[in-house]
Amino acid sequence: MTSTPFEALPLAAPLHRVLRELEYTTPSPIQAQAIPLLLQGRDLMGCAQTGTGKTAGFALPILQALHEQPRQIRSRCCRTLVLAPTRELAAQVGKSFTTYGRYVRFSQTLVYGGVGQVPQVNAMRRGVDVLVATPGRLLDLIDQRHIDLSQVEFFVLDEVDRMLDMGFLRDVKRIVALLPAKRQSLFFSATLAPNIVELARTILREPAHVSITPETTTAEKIDQQVCFLARDSKRPLLEQLLRAQANATEQKLTIVFSRTKHGANKLAKSLCASGFPADAIHGNKSQAQREKALDRFKKGLTPVLVATDVAARGVDVRDIGLVVNFDLPNEPEAYVHRIGRTARAGAEGRAVSFCSEDELEYLREIEKIIKMPIPRWDAHDWHIEALADHHSRGKFSAAAKSKSPGSPRRSGGQRRSHGRGR
Protein backbone atom coordinates (compact mmCIF):
# COMPACT_ATOMS: atom_id res chain seq x y z
CA MET A 1 0.00 0.00 0.00
CA THR A 2 1.35 3.44 -0.97
CA SER A 3 2.11 5.72 1.97
CA THR A 4 0.45 9.13 2.24
CA PRO A 5 2.95 11.80 1.11
CA PHE A 6 4.08 14.48 3.54
CA GLU A 7 2.26 17.09 1.45
CA ALA A 8 -1.06 15.42 2.29
CA LEU A 9 -0.52 15.59 6.07
CA PRO A 10 -2.28 18.51 7.84
CA LEU A 11 0.94 20.25 8.88
CA ALA A 12 1.47 24.00 8.99
CA ALA A 13 3.05 25.83 6.05
CA PRO A 14 6.41 26.44 7.83
CA LEU A 15 6.77 22.69 8.41
CA HIS A 16 5.86 21.79 4.83
CA ARG A 17 8.41 24.33 3.67
CA VAL A 18 11.27 22.76 5.61
CA LEU A 19 10.21 19.24 4.56
CA ARG A 20 10.41 20.31 0.91
CA GLU A 21 13.86 21.80 1.49
CA LEU A 22 14.99 18.57 3.15
CA GLU A 23 13.50 16.68 0.19
CA TYR A 24 11.30 14.62 2.48
CA THR A 25 8.49 13.33 0.29
CA THR A 26 7.18 10.11 1.80
CA PRO A 27 6.91 9.54 5.57
CA SER A 28 8.51 6.47 7.09
CA PRO A 29 6.01 3.96 8.54
CA ILE A 30 6.38 5.32 12.10
CA GLN A 31 5.88 8.88 10.83
CA ALA A 32 2.90 7.98 8.66
CA GLN A 33 1.10 6.33 11.57
CA ALA A 34 2.19 8.51 14.49
CA ILE A 35 1.84 12.04 13.08
CA PRO A 36 -1.95 11.95 12.41
CA LEU A 37 -2.60 10.44 15.85
CA LEU A 38 -0.44 13.01 17.62
CA LEU A 39 -2.06 15.87 15.73
CA GLN A 40 -5.36 14.65 17.22
CA GLY A 41 -3.88 15.03 20.71
CA ARG A 42 -3.70 11.30 21.46
CA ASP A 43 -1.22 9.74 23.86
CA LEU A 44 0.99 7.32 21.97
CA MET A 45 2.89 4.14 22.71
CA GLY A 46 5.32 3.53 19.85
CA CYS A 47 7.51 0.51 19.25
CA ALA A 48 10.09 1.07 16.53
CA GLN A 49 13.73 0.15 16.21
CA THR A 50 16.36 2.85 16.08
CA GLY A 51 16.85 4.62 12.76
CA THR A 52 13.20 4.50 11.66
CA GLY A 53 12.58 8.25 11.78
CA LYS A 54 10.59 8.43 15.00
CA THR A 55 12.18 11.74 16.08
CA ALA A 56 10.48 13.53 13.19
CA GLY A 57 7.38 11.50 14.05
CA PHE A 58 7.02 13.32 17.38
CA ALA A 59 8.88 16.58 16.67
CA LEU A 60 6.69 17.67 13.77
CA PRO A 61 3.34 17.43 15.66
CA ILE A 62 4.84 19.21 18.69
CA LEU A 63 6.22 22.01 16.51
CA GLN A 64 2.80 22.25 14.86
CA ALA A 65 1.16 22.81 18.26
CA LEU A 66 3.78 25.38 19.29
CA HIS A 67 3.25 27.22 16.00
CA GLU A 68 -0.55 27.25 16.17
CA GLN A 69 -0.83 27.98 19.89
CA PRO A 70 2.01 30.34 20.94
CA ARG A 71 2.01 31.09 24.66
CA GLN A 72 3.95 33.14 27.16
CA ILE A 73 6.22 30.83 29.10
CA ARG A 74 6.82 31.34 32.79
CA SER A 75 10.33 31.52 34.18
CA ARG A 76 11.95 28.11 34.79
CA CYS A 77 9.12 26.35 32.91
CA CYS A 78 8.81 24.51 29.62
CA ARG A 79 5.90 23.52 27.40
CA THR A 80 7.59 20.38 26.05
CA LEU A 81 9.82 17.92 27.89
CA VAL A 82 11.72 15.26 25.95
CA LEU A 83 13.53 12.82 28.22
CA ALA A 84 16.44 10.91 26.66
CA PRO A 85 18.83 8.37 28.21
CA THR A 86 22.15 9.78 26.95
CA ARG A 87 23.78 13.09 26.12
CA GLU A 88 24.32 12.00 22.53
CA LEU A 89 20.65 11.18 22.02
CA ALA A 90 19.58 14.43 23.70
CA ALA A 91 21.85 16.39 21.35
CA GLN A 92 20.49 14.50 18.36
CA VAL A 93 16.86 15.21 19.35
CA GLY A 94 17.68 18.87 19.95
CA LYS A 95 19.27 19.12 16.51
CA SER A 96 16.17 17.57 14.94
CA PHE A 97 13.89 20.14 16.59
CA THR A 98 16.18 22.91 15.33
CA THR A 99 16.14 21.48 11.80
CA TYR A 100 12.40 20.84 11.52
CA GLY A 101 11.52 24.05 13.35
CA ARG A 102 13.64 26.29 11.13
CA TYR A 103 10.64 28.44 10.20
CA VAL A 104 8.74 28.12 13.49
CA ARG A 105 9.19 30.63 16.32
CA PHE A 106 10.09 28.57 19.38
CA SER A 107 12.79 28.40 22.05
CA GLN A 108 14.74 25.33 23.08
CA THR A 109 17.50 24.27 25.43
CA LEU A 110 19.33 21.06 26.26
CA VAL A 111 19.96 19.91 29.83
CA TYR A 112 22.48 17.13 30.45
CA GLY A 113 25.53 16.37 32.54
CA GLY A 114 29.20 16.53 31.64
CA VAL A 115 29.09 20.29 31.00
CA GLY A 116 28.63 23.33 33.23
CA GLN A 117 25.08 24.01 34.35
CA VAL A 118 25.21 27.84 34.25
CA PRO A 119 24.16 28.22 30.57
CA GLN A 120 21.36 25.70 31.15
CA VAL A 121 20.16 27.57 34.24
CA ASN A 122 20.23 30.88 32.38
CA ALA A 123 18.22 29.46 29.48
CA MET A 124 15.60 28.03 31.85
CA ARG A 125 15.35 31.33 33.70
CA ARG A 126 13.63 32.73 30.59
CA GLY A 127 11.50 29.63 30.10
CA VAL A 128 11.56 27.54 26.92
CA ASP A 129 9.12 25.88 24.54
CA VAL A 130 11.18 22.69 24.26
CA LEU A 131 13.43 21.19 26.91
CA VAL A 132 15.43 18.08 25.95
CA ALA A 133 17.04 16.51 29.01
CA THR A 134 18.71 13.49 30.52
CA PRO A 135 17.25 12.35 33.85
CA GLY A 136 20.22 12.98 36.16
CA ARG A 137 20.96 16.61 35.32
CA LEU A 138 17.24 17.39 35.03
CA LEU A 139 16.61 16.21 38.59
CA ASP A 140 19.69 18.11 39.81
CA LEU A 141 18.31 21.38 38.43
CA ILE A 142 14.82 20.60 39.71
CA ASP A 143 16.22 20.01 43.20
CA GLN A 144 18.06 23.33 42.93
CA ARG A 145 14.73 24.95 41.91
CA HIS A 146 16.05 26.03 38.53
CA ILE A 147 13.42 24.00 36.61
CA ASP A 148 9.66 23.75 37.17
CA LEU A 149 7.73 21.02 35.29
CA SER A 150 4.24 22.16 36.30
CA GLN A 151 3.53 23.74 32.88
CA VAL A 152 4.50 20.79 30.65
CA GLU A 153 1.94 20.18 27.88
CA PHE A 154 3.86 17.59 25.84
CA PHE A 155 5.97 14.85 27.43
CA VAL A 156 8.14 12.52 25.35
CA LEU A 157 9.90 9.55 26.91
CA ASP A 158 12.35 8.38 24.24
CA GLU A 159 14.35 5.12 24.05
CA VAL A 160 12.59 3.79 27.16
CA ASP A 161 14.25 0.37 27.03
CA ARG A 162 17.68 1.96 27.08
CA MET A 163 16.54 4.26 29.90
CA LEU A 164 15.66 1.24 32.04
CA ASP A 165 18.84 -0.63 31.06
CA MET A 166 20.83 2.31 32.41
CA GLY A 167 19.01 2.23 35.76
CA PHE A 168 16.87 5.35 35.33
CA LEU A 169 13.53 3.82 36.34
CA ARG A 170 13.40 5.54 39.73
CA ASP A 171 14.45 8.88 38.19
CA VAL A 172 11.81 8.58 35.47
CA LYS A 173 9.10 7.92 38.05
CA ARG A 174 10.23 10.96 40.07
CA ILE A 175 10.06 13.15 36.99
CA VAL A 176 6.64 11.85 35.90
CA ALA A 177 5.27 12.58 39.38
CA LEU A 178 6.18 16.25 38.89
CA LEU A 179 4.27 16.60 35.60
CA PRO A 180 0.73 17.99 35.40
CA ALA A 181 -2.01 15.41 34.97
CA LYS A 182 -3.33 17.19 31.88
CA ARG A 183 -0.70 16.63 29.19
CA GLN A 184 -0.07 14.69 26.00
CA SER A 185 2.40 11.85 26.61
CA LEU A 186 4.47 9.98 24.04
CA PHE A 187 6.31 6.77 24.88
CA PHE A 188 8.86 5.27 22.47
CA SER A 189 10.83 2.05 22.85
CA ALA A 190 12.58 -0.38 20.50
CA THR A 191 11.39 -3.30 22.65
CA LEU A 192 8.26 -3.95 24.68
CA ALA A 193 9.38 -6.10 27.59
CA PRO A 194 6.83 -6.56 30.43
CA ASN A 195 8.50 -3.94 32.68
CA ILE A 196 8.32 -1.41 29.84
CA VAL A 197 4.62 -2.09 29.22
CA GLU A 198 3.95 -1.74 32.95
CA LEU A 199 5.71 1.63 33.05
CA ALA A 200 3.71 2.80 30.04
CA ARG A 201 0.46 2.03 31.86
CA THR A 202 1.42 4.46 34.63
CA ILE A 203 2.24 7.28 32.19
CA LEU A 204 -0.18 7.06 29.25
CA ARG A 205 -3.94 7.63 29.11
CA GLU A 206 -5.88 5.53 26.60
CA PRO A 207 -2.92 5.57 24.22
CA ALA A 208 -2.89 4.77 20.55
CA HIS A 209 -0.44 1.97 19.73
CA VAL A 210 1.99 2.04 16.82
CA SER A 211 4.32 -0.91 16.29
CA ILE A 212 6.41 -0.73 13.16
CA THR A 213 8.71 -3.72 13.46
CA PRO A 214 8.41 -6.97 15.40
CA GLU A 215 9.94 -6.77 18.84
CA THR A 216 13.76 -6.63 18.74
CA THR A 217 14.07 -7.63 15.10
CA THR A 218 17.11 -6.35 13.21
CA ALA A 219 17.34 -4.27 10.08
CA GLU A 220 16.93 -6.32 6.91
CA LYS A 221 19.71 -4.53 5.01
CA ILE A 222 22.39 -5.38 7.57
CA ASP A 223 24.67 -8.24 6.56
CA GLN A 224 25.11 -9.94 9.94
CA GLN A 225 27.96 -12.35 10.58
CA VAL A 226 29.51 -14.07 13.60
CA CYS A 227 33.12 -15.24 13.92
CA PHE A 228 34.10 -18.06 16.30
CA LEU A 229 37.63 -17.47 17.54
CA ALA A 230 39.88 -17.25 20.57
CA ARG A 231 39.84 -14.07 22.62
CA ASP A 232 43.48 -13.28 21.81
CA SER A 233 42.71 -13.56 18.09
CA LYS A 234 40.12 -10.79 18.12
CA ARG A 235 42.53 -7.92 17.62
CA PRO A 236 44.31 -9.30 14.52
CA LEU A 237 40.95 -10.15 12.93
CA LEU A 238 39.68 -6.66 13.69
CA GLU A 239 42.73 -5.17 12.01
CA GLN A 240 42.12 -7.37 8.97
CA LEU A 241 38.56 -6.03 8.75
CA LEU A 242 39.70 -2.44 9.16
CA ARG A 243 42.38 -2.88 6.51
CA ALA A 244 39.79 -4.14 4.04
CA GLN A 245 37.50 -1.26 4.99
CA ALA A 246 40.29 1.29 4.44
CA ASN A 247 41.15 -0.19 1.02
CA ALA A 248 37.54 -0.30 -0.20
CA THR A 249 36.54 1.86 -3.16
CA GLU A 250 33.83 3.59 -1.14
CA GLN A 251 35.19 4.90 2.14
CA LYS A 252 32.94 4.07 5.10
CA LEU A 253 33.17 4.56 8.85
CA THR A 254 33.43 1.82 11.48
CA ILE A 255 32.11 1.52 15.04
CA VAL A 256 33.71 -1.12 17.26
CA PHE A 257 31.88 -2.04 20.44
CA SER A 258 33.71 -2.93 23.64
CA ARG A 259 31.97 -4.14 26.79
CA THR A 260 34.02 -1.96 29.17
CA LYS A 261 35.35 1.60 29.28
CA HIS A 262 38.88 0.39 30.01
CA GLY A 263 38.66 -2.05 27.11
CA ALA A 264 37.51 0.73 24.75
CA ASN A 265 40.42 2.96 25.73
CA LYS A 266 42.95 0.15 25.42
CA LEU A 267 41.63 -0.98 22.03
CA ALA A 268 41.53 2.54 20.57
CA LYS A 269 45.12 3.14 21.69
CA SER A 270 46.24 -0.18 20.19
CA LEU A 271 44.54 0.54 16.86
CA CYS A 272 46.18 3.96 16.65
CA ALA A 273 49.57 2.35 17.28
CA SER A 274 48.86 -0.09 14.44
CA GLY A 275 48.08 2.69 11.98
CA PHE A 276 44.29 2.83 12.25
CA PRO A 277 43.13 6.30 13.43
CA ALA A 278 40.67 5.59 16.24
CA ASP A 279 39.08 7.28 19.22
CA ALA A 280 37.14 5.96 22.21
CA ILE A 281 33.78 7.16 23.49
CA HIS A 282 32.18 6.09 26.76
CA GLY A 283 30.58 7.36 29.93
CA ASN A 284 33.81 8.50 31.60
CA LYS A 285 34.57 10.94 28.80
CA SER A 286 33.53 14.56 29.33
CA GLN A 287 30.83 15.97 27.09
CA ALA A 288 33.42 18.10 25.28
CA GLN A 289 35.60 15.03 24.64
CA ARG A 290 32.62 13.02 23.38
CA GLU A 291 31.44 15.77 21.07
CA LYS A 292 34.95 16.26 19.69
CA ALA A 293 35.33 12.51 19.05
CA LEU A 294 31.93 12.31 17.34
CA ASP A 295 32.69 15.36 15.20
CA ARG A 296 36.02 13.92 14.03
CA PHE A 297 34.30 10.59 13.36
CA LYS A 298 31.51 12.15 11.29
CA LYS A 299 34.06 14.09 9.22
CA GLY A 300 36.08 10.92 8.60
CA LEU A 301 39.16 12.34 10.33
CA THR A 302 38.99 9.42 12.77
CA PRO A 303 37.25 6.69 10.75
CA VAL A 304 37.13 4.22 13.64
CA LEU A 305 35.13 4.85 16.82
CA VAL A 306 35.53 2.40 19.71
CA ALA A 307 32.48 2.65 21.95
CA THR A 308 30.71 1.14 24.90
CA ASP A 309 26.93 0.82 24.79
CA VAL A 310 26.57 4.50 25.69
CA ALA A 311 26.99 5.10 21.93
CA ALA A 312 24.55 2.44 20.80
CA ARG A 313 21.85 5.12 20.84
CA GLY A 314 22.11 8.69 19.69
CA VAL A 315 24.89 8.25 17.12
CA ASP A 316 23.14 8.92 13.82
CA VAL A 317 25.79 8.92 11.10
CA ARG A 318 24.82 7.77 7.62
CA ASP A 319 28.27 6.68 6.44
CA ILE A 320 28.81 3.88 8.97
CA GLY A 321 29.40 0.83 6.81
CA LEU A 322 30.70 -1.58 9.44
CA VAL A 323 29.83 -2.38 13.05
CA VAL A 324 32.11 -4.80 14.91
CA ASN A 325 31.05 -6.35 18.18
CA PHE A 326 34.57 -6.87 19.54
CA ASP A 327 32.85 -8.03 22.75
CA LEU A 328 29.34 -9.46 22.59
CA PRO A 329 26.92 -7.56 24.84
CA ASN A 330 25.73 -9.36 27.95
CA GLU A 331 22.30 -7.74 27.43
CA PRO A 332 20.93 -9.28 24.21
CA GLU A 333 18.74 -6.25 23.41
CA ALA A 334 21.89 -4.13 23.13
CA TYR A 335 22.90 -6.15 20.05
CA VAL A 336 19.95 -4.73 18.10
CA HIS A 337 20.83 -1.17 19.00
CA ARG A 338 24.53 -1.64 18.30
CA ILE A 339 24.14 -3.00 14.79
CA GLY A 340 21.43 -0.40 14.13
CA ARG A 341 24.24 2.16 13.82
CA THR A 342 24.77 0.91 10.27
CA ALA A 343 22.27 0.65 7.38
CA ARG A 344 20.80 4.01 8.33
CA ALA A 345 18.29 5.83 6.12
CA GLY A 346 17.86 2.90 3.74
CA ALA A 347 21.59 2.25 3.20
CA GLU A 348 23.20 -1.17 3.47
CA GLY A 349 25.68 -2.18 6.15
CA ARG A 350 27.65 -5.02 7.70
CA ALA A 351 27.78 -6.16 11.31
CA VAL A 352 30.47 -8.63 12.38
CA SER A 353 30.39 -10.14 15.89
CA PHE A 354 33.34 -11.86 17.54
CA CYS A 355 32.43 -14.82 19.75
CA SER A 356 34.99 -16.50 21.98
CA GLU A 357 34.30 -19.53 24.15
CA ASP A 358 33.22 -17.50 27.18
CA GLU A 359 30.66 -15.60 25.08
CA LEU A 360 28.70 -18.51 23.61
CA GLU A 361 25.84 -18.03 26.07
CA TYR A 362 25.59 -14.35 25.10
CA LEU A 363 25.32 -15.38 21.45
CA ARG A 364 22.55 -17.87 22.21
CA GLU A 365 20.55 -15.18 24.01
CA ILE A 366 21.02 -12.75 21.13
CA GLU A 367 19.85 -15.26 18.54
CA LYS A 368 16.88 -16.10 20.73
CA ILE A 369 15.75 -12.49 20.95
CA ILE A 370 16.27 -11.66 17.24
CA LYS A 371 14.55 -14.94 16.36
CA MET A 372 17.18 -16.04 13.86
CA PRO A 373 20.65 -17.61 13.79
CA ILE A 374 23.43 -15.20 12.84
CA PRO A 375 25.28 -16.56 9.76
CA ARG A 376 28.80 -17.58 10.63
CA TRP A 377 31.82 -16.20 8.77
CA ASP A 378 34.80 -18.51 8.75
CA ALA A 379 36.78 -17.09 5.79
CA HIS A 380 39.53 -15.78 8.02
CA ASP A 381 42.70 -17.18 9.58
CA TRP A 382 41.46 -17.47 13.16
CA HIS A 383 38.28 -19.54 12.79
CA ILE A 384 37.74 -22.32 15.36
CA GLU A 385 35.48 -24.98 13.86
CA ALA A 386 35.10 -26.82 17.17
CA LEU A 387 33.69 -23.67 18.80
CA ALA A 388 31.25 -23.13 15.93
CA ASP A 389 30.15 -26.74 16.20
CA HIS A 390 29.63 -26.46 19.95
CA HIS A 391 27.42 -23.42 19.39
CA SER A 392 25.38 -25.15 16.70
CA ARG A 393 24.77 -28.08 19.05
CA GLY A 394 23.87 -25.70 21.88
CA LYS A 395 26.22 -27.24 24.42
CA PHE A 396 29.87 -27.72 25.28
CA SER A 397 31.64 -31.01 24.94
CA ALA A 398 33.90 -32.26 27.68
CA ALA A 399 36.85 -31.74 25.34
CA ALA A 400 35.95 -28.10 24.81
CA LYS A 401 35.70 -27.47 28.54
CA SER A 402 39.17 -28.85 29.08
CA LYS A 403 40.74 -26.50 26.57
CA SER A 404 42.09 -23.06 27.31
CA PRO A 405 40.32 -20.32 25.33
CA GLY A 406 43.71 -18.98 24.32
CA SER A 407 45.01 -22.23 22.79
CA PRO A 408 42.21 -24.02 20.91
CA ARG A 409 42.75 -26.77 18.38
CA ARG A 410 42.48 -25.43 14.85
CA SER A 411 40.52 -27.15 12.15
CA GLY A 412 41.41 -27.85 8.54
CA GLY A 413 45.08 -27.00 8.94
CA GLN A 414 44.33 -23.30 9.36
CA ARG A 415 47.29 -21.24 10.41
CA ARG A 416 47.28 -19.16 13.54
CA SER A 417 48.49 -15.63 12.93
CA HIS A 418 48.72 -13.17 15.76
CA GLY A 419 49.16 -10.13 13.55
CA ARG A 420 49.76 -6.68 14.93
CA GLY A 421 48.24 -5.10 18.00
CA ARG A 422 48.66 -7.94 20.47
Indicate which CATH number applies to the domain containing 163.
3.40.50.300
Average of pLDDT values for 43-50? 84
Domain boundary pick from 160, 180, 211:
211
Domain holding 369, by residue range, is 222-402
Q: Of 17-21, 313-317, 337-341, where does mean pLDDT reach its minimum?
A: 313-317
Q: Per the domain annotation, does 216 fall within a domain?
A: no
87-120 pLDDT, tens per residue? 888 998 999 999 999 999 999 999 998 889 999 9
Q: Per the domain annotation, does 339 fall within a domain?
A: yes
> Could you give the percent of the chain with pLDDT greater than 90?
60
Note whether 115 and 246 are same-domain residues. Answer: no
Note whether 234 and 100 are same-domain residues. Answer: no
Provide the residue count of the chain. 422
Note whether 203 and 243 are same-domain residues. Answer: no
Q: What are phi and psi of 18, to 5 degrees?
A: -70, -35
* Residue 157 pLDDT > 80: yes
Mean pLDDT estimate for the chain: 86
Q: Of 49-58, 179-188, 222-231, where does mean pLDDT reach its minimum?
A: 49-58
Domain boundary pick from 211, 239, 258:
211
Note whether 228 and 349 are same-domain residues. Answer: yes
* Residue 400 pLDDT > 60: no
Note whether 136 and 266 are same-domain residues. Answer: no
Find the Cα–Cα–Cα–Cα dihedral 304, 310, 312, 315, rounded to 10°: -70
Q: Per the domain annotation, does 410 fall within a domain?
A: no
What are the C-alpha distances in Å from 73 to residues 12, 59, 128? 22, 19, 7
Q: Per the domain annotation, does 364 fall within a domain?
A: yes
Query: Whole-angstrom distance between the N-terminal and C-terminal Cα of the chain?
Result: 53
Q: Per the domain annotation, does 409 fall within a domain?
A: no
> Could you give the percent of the chain with pLDDT greater than 70?
87
Note whether 345 and 390 are same-domain residues. Answer: yes
Q: How far apart are CA 103 and CA 37, in angstroms?
A: 23
- Return the pLDDT at 202: 92
Q: How far apart are CA 396 and CA 174, in angstroms?
A: 46
User: Each residue of 203-235: b (16+ CB within 10 Å) or e?
Assistant: bbeebbebebbebbebbeebebebbbbbeebbb
- Return the pLDDT at 101: 97
201-257 pLDDT, tens per residue? 999 999 999 987 544 445 557 899 999 999 999 999 999 999 998 888 777 899 999
- Return the pLDDT at 314: 57
Q: Per the domain annotation, does 422 fall within a domain?
A: no
Q: Per the domain annotation, does 394 fall within a domain?
A: yes
Q: Per the domain annotation, does 408 fall within a domain?
A: no
Q: How many domains does the chain have?
A: 2
Give the global pTM.
0.64
* Residue 53 pLDDT > 50: yes
